[in-house]
A and B are shown apart, each in its own frame.
Chain A
């Protein structure tokens, strides 16, 4: 994204282009007086990006509507049941927020790393590392008083997530190993590691399943309402979004990470220690995904089970971050919208028979179109003035 920073000034159309080139060069048609011309904007106002994103999402809805028609269902029925399941009533709206909680954190995980031009695709693995860290603290220090234990468990999650991300960032800084591939590989590695823990050392005695024992009730995160699973983790996710916004905008590290995101070499000439900044950003990024793991464990599941491997919240976080154009506030909005899709898709499948996997297609199409729109909004169509 950095390469489009420099805007070359555009030649202004000259009237004699018309006289000289008309009729010979087909391209000169574009330069004829009165013709439309596509040209680079000198300045792209941030609000244009928002408009472009909204237009892209509208086109996504049209494409998905056509797809639904092909499957043989009325798109209005499909969208209505999707909306009904996502935000239709108080219960489903609150459940959407429950599902948005980990997505906000993994979205922030991807957003902050991508801002720095560090491609952390390992949110999924760091999420699992966070759950493992939480359980490790719980299992190792059973005697701690409740408030201390909560803090220790969240710290454990953040540290485990950060450490798992740091494996990749150290390899990147020390050996130049492509962090995209190492973080992806580490996802697979920790998936196997978790499977080993759950069927071996940490397996509960009372079940044949691959899962840990249920945690004691004093470790459950408080819930906001009696009739919903919405837990304190949601508030934590919102706070972290604010913290990340502050960190990126108002701190030295934030300046450094934006600088290396635009141009590592220039940042290094300016005195930024690129290696240290990469390590710091990856640690923060991993810690955010780790917190998501703690939130899911302490707020919802209360035991580590197969659901931690299968949820793919880490991957959805990447889509959330990119559709939100890496803005922390946008991450919250997009995470809630995507959680609504996930939540509503179940109802849509029951009501209309469309496979819930439609959500995967929606996410993919939305992401592709948002990316295209982000480039498109840097251009404008201008009508060239008529001379004579």
Chain B
């Protein structure tokens, strides 16, 4: 056990914290914008899986990882568009619509993957030459700090950058504030002539694009292949992080990093051969999510019209 508290192990935990937090962070900041407009998109798990697949497909076919990211954004955005049609236009119950698109996203990715890569009932599990970490010159030479903060994937920097960006967008720009007013009081916005449906479309499609990119991190940067269970509950955890973070961008960063840290600690405990059933460690992130949701019940920033569809001329 004393081997565990060595410099390299602890440094490794901090490096891994950011890697594990990245897909959660990207998906959760996108979901924050969607929820700010009053639409709860429960389909993150399916959308991330679709993004992980469509990103992998394009990257594998073209050999270009950046085009893969575009593919992931398109795959996620397409599901976001469908979600927007169902909830903002047709006004299907948002929870039910989210569950439906979750299933469509997962099923679509499974089927598409098999119809491309399955030969005679067996999948070849192709791999891509995944993203390398983007080492920032000079800064990465700082001991410890450099390795943790300046030797990560581009997508990790992007995810962290999205935190202040999302904050500024939602709190300091006209469009973002309008979006939040729609989430709180769509009737008042409608009377002021703020177009509700177009803004909800923008927000939900954006959320889908971000979930797709979060999924692509898993298949193009964190790993180098696609498989059915690749997202493994991260979509649901990202949804929980938005609630846990009380719909604030900064707390979402904290929540994602906390998750990343606990998961990274768990992984290196497992690697150090600690005498605990590994299944307990597997269940840990999900138990922690439940505990976090129970202990953090602050709802001060919840969009007041979340999940309530707006019908002009009713109520």
- B-binding residues in A (CB < 8 A): 1, 3-4, 6, 8, 71, 119, 121, 171, 175-178, 180-182, 184-186, 188-189, 191-193, 195-196, 199-200, 315, 318-319, 322, 349, 354-355, 357-361, 363-365, 367-368, 371-372, 374-376
Contact = CB atoms under 8 A, between A and B. Distances in A.
Nearest to A323: B100
B240 interface: yes
A202 to B, nearest CB: 13
B233 A188 contact: yes
Contacts of A175: 294, 297
A176 B100 contact: no
Contacts of A199: 279
Judged by DSSP, the binding face of A is helix
Contact of B236 (A184, A195, A365, A372): A184
Interface in B241-288: 243, 277, 279-280, 282-283, 286-287
A363 B279 contact: no
Contacts of A365: 104
B313 A357 contact: no
Given A360-B110, A375-B92, A178 B243 contact: yes
B6 interface: no
B300 to A, nearest CB: 14
B304 interface: no
Contacts of A367: 100, 103-104
Nearest to B98: A180
B92 A185 contact: no
Judged by DSSP, the binding face of B is helix
A374 B86 CA distance: 12
Contacts of A200: 277
A357 B116 CA distance: 12
A355 B115 contact: yes
10 nearest A-B residue pairs (beta carbon): A360-B107, A364-B104, A355-B114, A192-B283, A196-B279, A185-B286, A192-B279, A188-B286, A357-B111, A357-B110
A376 B86 CA distance: 11
Contact of B118 (A185, A322, A355, A363): A355
A357 B97 contact: no
B188 interface: no
A195 B42 CA distance: 27
A355 B315 CA distance: 48
Given A181-B243, A181-B293, A354-B115, A189 B287 contact: yes
Interface in B93-112: 93, 95-97, 99-101, 103-108, 110-111
